[in-house]
Amino acid sequence: MQHYLDHAATTPMLPVAIDTWQLGAAELGNASSIHASGRNARRIVEESRERIAARLGAHPGEVVFTSGANEADNLAVLGLARARRAVASRMNRVLVSAVEHPAVRSAAAQLATEGFEVVELPVDGRGLLRLDVLCDDIRHAPEQVALLSCMWANNETGAVQPVAEIAAQAAAHAIPYHCDAAQALGFLPVTFAAAAMPGLTAMSISGHKVGGPMGIGALLVRKDAAVAPTSYGGGQERRLRSGTVPVALIASFAAALEEVVTEREHRAARLRKLRDMLADGLRELGAEIVGPTETSHLAPHICYAVFPAVPAETLLLLLDQAGIAASAGSACSAGVVQPSEVLLAMGYSAEQAVSGVRFSLGWTTDADDIDALLQVLPALLERGASR
Amino acid sequence: MSRLVAALSGGVDSAVAAARMVDAGHDVTAVHLALARNPLLHRAGSRGCCSLEDAHDAKRVADMLGIPYYVWDFSERFQQEVVVDFIAEYAAGRTPNPCLRCNERIKFAAMLDRALTLGFDGLITGHYARVEHAADDMVTLHRSVDTAKDQSYVLGVMTAEQLRHSHFPLGGSAKPAVRAEAAARGLLVADKPDSYDICFISDGDTAGWLHGFLGSQPGHIVDASGQVLGEHDGTYRFTIGQRKGLALTRPASDGKPRYVVDIDAASRRVTVAGHNRLAVAVLHCGRPTWCGPEVFGPWEGTVQVRAHAAEVPATIVADAENMLIALHSPVLGVAPGQSAVCYDGTRVVGSAIIQRTEPVSAETVVTPPTAVK
């Protein structure tokens, strides 16, 4: 019996997304073509765009489809910062939280090679952005900030960042603010509505994290935001993103997104109950649950545990052999579990940073999965800790 | 049926070894060891097992065999136990064998320990050597039937307990047959080149790599009388028996080639001499290890002094700390730091690290020693 507790890595496609994808895959047409087939494809794409926009309080023209959240993050970070500096060379500072996904951090590192000054904003012991540091930094020289990027919910800890406060700061100083919402969408009340998030300039979302297909995502970006493109060609997506738009993926993404946003409250409440049950059980086994304890600052589907004296590399193997899928903070391309940058940023030791295991829940998770994990875990921890 | 860990390097041998054990009905789990701190993206030529491409190849082998695959990170341990030691040995004027060291400290120690701890029964590797299990629970290590490919030398540091948990499914096969089998099984690594060089020195330039750690340590190259024949940049650039790269400014009086016969790291002096001075008759060794019961002797066996060298008959005596080997016929160019591995027929008896050697002297006949020390 397999128990999949790695939904934050990817979650099974929703039936409606599979059905929609199949229908879309059978359609012929390039959305850029002027003939009937092209018009049909275009209609599917634009209807999907409108449905996604409607669910996120956005204007359809603000939705730029990408291959996923990684590309959306790249486009936002590189595109916004470069465009802004092109206007005024003094706008040279890029502020990113210390717990961003590599899609943001690596893009920021690229900007550093282009002469930008990249500032990592610290988080507290719960993994939450230090708003005081952010405010101080901005106040110091707001006219020099090219971009601020801070995610909605952290992919390892599930910590929910104070995005409304960050957006307010960005608005007050007219600084572009990008938010990676890939892990938040479908679990938290994510919105791109200008009224609710006045300072939010751009937001990344992903298809496969919400039960849609892999290979599709979007960057929501204000229509008046200056963004330099990062790829070149047909300019299909607002001249920011080139490449034939994948009709079936987009339709399927829209179907999944519509379902998870519509059912969010009910789903989140159900998952939070399971997640708390899991966290309580893990604590009883000696694990430290990492991240905020306040419900308001914690995504309902992620439980990040540090097991003292058991490296994640070992525990993940034992869990896998027991039929349970979970993951560690990060692994290099060769497959080696690396110390979690997130845990290090939160002040954990190097030893603790290789002992973090993330359990993440999704729409197929039920109490049986949690029970199965808690049942086998004591023996696995004993085995894993015996050297 | 046993639960076994197959060490998959990404090469053809470990792939076939794992495949055979899967066929034999064992519950096999693949593990690739991450040993390099900063793995290169692709293999350069015939280097070992440290590149991302090798990790990928190992993963694809596991996929094809339908077995789980994990990466175990022993890079820190490898650095401490193998790489640091390698540099220190060269710095001390010796010539270490990092593969033996890795087998002793990493593969059949740290890796085997972890496998046993995690509930596995043992380890499978693609080494060309044989483990024989006798009725009385004795295990012995033997040369491969493919003598050209035999790798028992680099396993000479294993203990009986390690052997008991080790499986070398290729020990009865010849390399060409293993390649053919890999191809027949559809393993994509079937035609991958063998690795010969030191896996953590990606371009094969050992001296250049050592220079990065040890820097310039200039000294003299001298002849047996102490006359200076040339200069060098560091004794770590030399090994006993080396002929090339000496850059001597004065030719030998007899016009014959000269070879490194002694390296003194303390005085940074490298001594060269003619071919006849390379012949060694007695090996003083330390840190004996035994692939089974200790055999202090004296006993008559054969000795191999480096990988792929021919074995030589010898009389061997040992105690807990030392091993003294009297070679029945002289061996050329024996480098301290290498291991002497002792055989009784095909069976590996034990090993020890060569500390110093005695040359063949024209006057004395080499006789077996009666006591150690």
- Condensed to tens digits (0 to 9), the pLDDT of residues B292-327 reads 999 998 999 999 999 888 999 999 999 999 999 999
Q: Choose the final residue of a domain: A242, A262, A282.
A: A262
**A334 chain-B contacts, CB cut-off 8 A:** 32, 34, 39, 52, 55, 71
CB neighbour list of residue B227: distance below 8 Å, 6 or more residues apart: none
Same domain as A288, residue A238: no
B102 annotated active-site: yes
DSSP B265: T
Number of Cβ within 10 Å of residue A201's Cβ equals: 26
Number of Cβ within 10 Å of residue B256's Cβ equals: 11
Give me the pLDDT at residue B47, please.
36
Same domain as A220, residue A181: yes
d(CA A197, CA A185): 15
Q: Which residue has the higher pLDDT, B367 or A348?
A: A348
Which residue's structure tokens are 């295991």? Answer: A357
Average pLDDT by stretches of 10, chain A with 387 residues: 94 98 94 93 96 97 97 98 93 96 96 97 96 92 94 97 96 96 98 95 98 98 95 93 96 98 97 97 96 94 93 93 90 74 93 93 97 96 79
> Which neighbouring-strand residues pair with B228?
B222
Closest Cα to residue B146, out of B110, B189, B185, B194?
B194
Q: To the nearest whole number, what is the mean pLDDT of chain B?
A: 88
Interface of B with A in 110-139 (CB under 8 A): 113-114, 117-119
Closest Cα to residue B168, out of B7, B349, B343, B50?
B7
Give me the pLDDT at residue B75, please.
87
Give me the pLDDT at residue A214, please.
98
User: Does residue B371 carry a pLDDT above 50?
Assistant: no
Give me the pLDDT at residue B48, please.
38
User: Does residue B365 carry a pLDDT above 70?
Assistant: no
Whole-prediction pTM = 0.87
DSSP B297: S
Same domain as A232, residue A125: yes
Give me the pLDDT at residue A309, please.
83
Give me the pLDDT at residue A193, please.
96
Nearest CB among A321, A335, A387 relative to B55 is that of: A335
Same domain as A275, residue A289: yes
B58-117 pLDDT, tens per residue? Answer: 999 999 999 999 999 898 899 999 999 999 999 999 999 999 999 999 999 999 999 999
Same domain as A96, residue A31: yes
Return the CATH number at A315: 3.90.1150.10
Q: For chain B, which domains are there?
A: 3-184 (3.40.50.620), 216-273 (2.30.30.280), 279-359 (2.40.30.10)
Closest Cα to residue B68, out of A353, A302, A2?
A2
Interface contact A387-B71, CB threshold 8 A: no
Query: Which of B28, B59, B73, B111 has the highest number of chain A CBs within 10 A, making it the mutation to test binding with A?
Result: B73
Give me the pLDDT at residue A129, please.
97
Give me the pLDDT at residue A308, please.
86
B196–chain A Cβ distance below 8 A for any pair: no
Give me the pLDDT at residue A333, please.
62
User: Does residue B366 carry a pLDDT above 60?
Assistant: no
Give me the pLDDT at residue B370, please.
44
B373 pLDDT tier (thresholds 50, 70, 90)? very low
d(CA A105, CA B124): 40
Q: Is the peptide bond before A311 cis (omega within 30 degrees of 0)?
A: no
User: Does residue B170 carry a pLDDT above 80?
Assistant: yes
Query: Which of A332, A376, A382 has the highest number of chain B CBs within 10 A, making it the mutation to test binding with B?
Result: A332
The answer to whether the beta carbons of residues B200 and B83 sit under 8 Å apart is yes
Give me the pLDDT at residue B131, please.
95
Give me the pLDDT at residue A140, please.
84
d(CA A214, CA A23): 17
> Which neighbouring-strand residues pair with B166?
B123
The catalytic residues of A are 332
Q: Choose the final residue of a domain: A236, A262, A288.
A: A262
d(CA B5, CA B25): 14
**A355 chain-B contacts, CB cut-off 8 A:** none
A35–chain B Cβ distance below 8 A for any pair: no
Q: How far is CA B122 from the centre of its chain?
A: 22
A329–chain B Cβ distance below 8 A for any pair: no
Give me the pLDDT at residue B46, please.
35
Q: Which residue has the higher pLDDT, B48 or B101?
A: B101
d(CA B130, CA B161): 15
d(CA B343, CA B355): 19
Same domain as A98, residue A162: yes
d(CA A346, CA A360): 20
Give me the pLDDT at residue B38, please.
57
SS (H, E, C) B156-203: CCCCHHHHHCEECCCCCCCHHHHHHHHHHCCCCCCCCCCCCCCCCCCC
Give me the pLDDT at residue B244, please.
84
Count of domains observed in chain A? 2
Question: How big is chain A, counted in residues?
Answer: 387
Residue of A nearest to B42 (CA): A334
Same domain as A116, residue A103: yes
Residue of B nearest to A323 (CA): B68
In Å, the largest CA–CA distance within chain A is: 68
The answer to whether the beta carbons of residues B5 and B37 sit under 8 Å apart is no
B243 pLDDT tier (thresholds 50, 70, 90)? confident
Task: Give the residue ranges of DSSP H helices in chain B.
Answer: 12-23, 52-65, 75-78, 84-91, 98-102, 112-117, 160-164, 175-184, 206-214
**A314 chain-B contacts, CB cut-off 8 A:** 114, 118
Return the CATH number at A146: 3.40.640.10
How far does the CA of residue B203 sit from the closest CA of chain A (Å)? Answer: 20
The answer to whether the beta carbons of residues B6 and B124 sit under 8 Å apart is yes
Phi-psi region of B268 (alpha: psi -120 to 50; beta: other; left: phi over 0): left
Interface contact B71-A321, CB threshold 8 A: no
d(CA B207, CA A358): 45
Q: Choose the final residue of a domain: A227, A262, A297.
A: A262
Same domain as A286, residue A188: no
Q: How far is CA A168 from the centre of its chain?
A: 21
Give me the pLDDT at residue B296, please.
94
DSSP B49: S
B50 annotated active-site: no
Tell me which residue range forms the domain holding A44: 15-262
B13-40 pLDDT, tens per residue? Answer: 999 999 999 999 999 999 999 887 655 4
The answer to whether the beta carbons of residues A66 and A72 sit under 8 Å apart is yes
Interface contact A337-B73, CB threshold 8 A: yes
**B32 chain-A contacts, CB cut-off 8 A:** 334-335
Strands (DSSP E) found in chain B: 3-7, 27-34, 69-73, 122-124, 129-133, 139-143, 166-167, 219-222, 228-232, 259-264, 269-273, 279-290, 299-304, 312-318, 322-332, 339-344, 347-359
d(CA A154, CA B75): 29
B324-342 pLDDT, tens per residue? Answer: 999 999 999 899 999 999 9
Number of Cβ within 10 Å of residue A354's Cβ equals: 23
Same domain as A288, residue A255: no
ipTM of the complex: 0.84
Of all residues in chain B, the percent with pLDDT exceeding 70 is: 92
> Which neighbouring-strand residues pair with B30?
B6, B69
Same domain as A207, residue A340: no
Give me the pLDDT at residue A382, please.
92
Same domain as A270, residue A245: no
d(CA A380, CA A314): 9
Number of Cβ within 10 Å of residue B135's Cβ equals: 5
Same domain as A243, residue A297: no
Give me the pLDDT at residue A330, please.
67
d(CA A331, CA A313): 10
